[in-house]
Amino acid sequence: VEVISTVARWRKTLDAERAAGRSVGLVPTMGYLHAGHGALIERAGAECDTVAVTVFVNPLQFGPAEDLAAYPRDLEADVVFAGSCGAAFVFAPPVEEMYRAGAQTTVHVAGVSAGFEGASRPGHFDGVATVVAKLFAQAGPCRAYFGEKDFQQLAVIRQLAVDLDLPVEVVGCPTVREADGLALSSRNVYLTPAERAIAPVLHRALEAGVDAARRERPTADAVRSAMTAVLAGASGVTVEYADVVDAHTLLPATEVIGDLRLLIAARLGRARLIDNMGVTV
Ligand code: PAF
């Protein structure tokens, strides 16, 4: 695996891949890679000739009271893991390379970024949209792979790629889960063993919501209540939201019909957990 730290070299490397007739699969990450990232890298490898992983903990998407300093990092292990999953290149720029002195541009996606994570974490999606627009501009024509675990983020990224005419096909990939249902996340390291045992309640709540949605003529509120009832039974879990939305607009559902997405965010100890599940009724 070749590790690259400058934008100029990254661009040159991926341009050379395309010039040699090889398609590029991009997997943007913030590092501390786990099997969920592994699945993205492997999918990119199955669909593209060359897999390029980015590892950059993006300060712009963390709020002032969030975990930027504590965010887990291990570039050496990430490079080995990315290579074992089939990546040829890893781009790991320092912060000053990604955000050069004097930069004045941020990218704001309206609409899909407004509620849920956007409301809970002001400025978060501007940070995500800005860095992803830069990563896409730096990488050039490619397919880019993102997990559905961050479902709203995926919607924001799809929108920005279309709106800015970026030559990138955005591919959403299913969430990878532990055997007990907990969605894989680099932030799961914040859970104590006792909290780790409680955390799969989010998945159980989503399943209860999906079951409710599939019942005869349910209301959207019945789906919401099915989720909150399960979450209420877990000690130490503070729910930020548990909602059912239109999977395309991310607006709260008024009727249980069409492509829907159930979204949950909850705090458990030091960790803030998010998860989601789709259902078509
Ligand atoms: O999902 C992530 O890891 C990050 O939000 C992303 C998309 C790499 C942007 O920093």
Question: SS3 sequence, the chain?
Answer: CEEECCHHHHHHHHHHHHHCCCCEEEEEECCCCCHHHHHHHHHHHHHCCEEEEEECCCHHHCCCCCCCCCCCCCHHHHHHHHHHHCCCEEECCCHHHHCCCCCCCCCCCCHHHCCCHHHHCCCHHHHHHHHHHHHHHHHCCEEEEEECCCHHHHHHHHHHHHHCCCCEEEEEECCCECCCCCECCHHHHHCCHHHHHHCCHHHHHHHHHHHHHHCCCCEHHHHHHHHHHHHHCCCCEEEEEEEEEECCCCCECCECCCEEEEEEEEEECCEEEEEEEEEEC
Strands 237-246 and 259-268, bridge-based pairing:
antiparallel
Please report which confidence band the pLDDT of residue 212 belongs to, taking 50, 70 and 90 as the band edges: very high
Residues listed for the chain: 281
Tell me which residue has tokens 């989503």: 206
Q: Evaluate: CB of 152 within 6 angstroms of ligand 1.
A: no
First to last CA, the chain: 45
**Residue 185 CA to ligand 1 centre (angstroms):** 12
**Residues forming beta bridges with residue 16, ordered by sequence position:** none
The pLDDT of residue 118 is: 98
Average pLDDT over residues 111-137: 97
Average pLDDT over residues 100-127: 97
CA dist., res. 8 & res. 149, Å (int): 31
Please report which confidence band the pLDDT of residue 154 belongs to, taking 50, 70 and 90 as the band edges: very high
Residues noted as catalytic: 37
The pLDDT of residue 210 is: 98
Average pLDDT over residues 28-46: 98
Please report which confidence band the pLDDT of residue 29 belongs to, taking 50, 70 and 90 as the band edges: very high
The protein residue with its alpha carbon nearest to ligand 1, atom 2, reads 29
CA dist., res. 18 & res. 16, Å (int): 5
Q: What does the mean pLDDT of the chain come to?
A: 98
> Residue 213: left (phi > 0), alpha (psi -120 to 50), or beta?
alpha
Please report which confidence band the pLDDT of residue 177 belongs to, taking 50, 70 and 90 as the band edges: very high
Average pLDDT over residues 144-162: 98
Cα distances from 240 to residues 7, 117, 202, 255, in angstroms, run 38, 10, 12, 22
Q: Evaluate: CB of 29 within 6 angstroms of ligand 1.
A: yes
Please report which confidence band the pLDDT of residue 46 belongs to, taking 50, 70 and 90 as the band edges: very high
Average pLDDT over residues 47-55: 98
The pLDDT of residue 260 is: 98
The pLDDT of residue 152 is: 98
**Residue 271 CA to ligand 1 centre (angstroms):** 17
The protein residue with its alpha carbon nearest to ligand 1, atom 1, reads 29
With beta carbons less than 8 A apart as the criterion, state whether 23 and 142 touch.
yes
**Residues forming beta bridges with residue 90, ordered by sequence position:** 3, 53
The pLDDT of residue 67 is: 93
Please report which confidence band the pLDDT of residue 228 belongs to, taking 50, 70 and 90 as the band edges: very high
Q: Evaluate: CB of 30 within 6 angstroms of ligand 1.
A: yes
CA dist., res. 28 & res. 58, Å (int): 11
The pLDDT of residue 246 is: 97
The pLDDT of residue 276 is: 98
Establish how many alpha carbons lie within 13 A of residue 259's alpha carbon, considering only the half-sphere containing its beta carbon: 4
What's the pTM value of the predicted model, to 2 decimals? 0.97
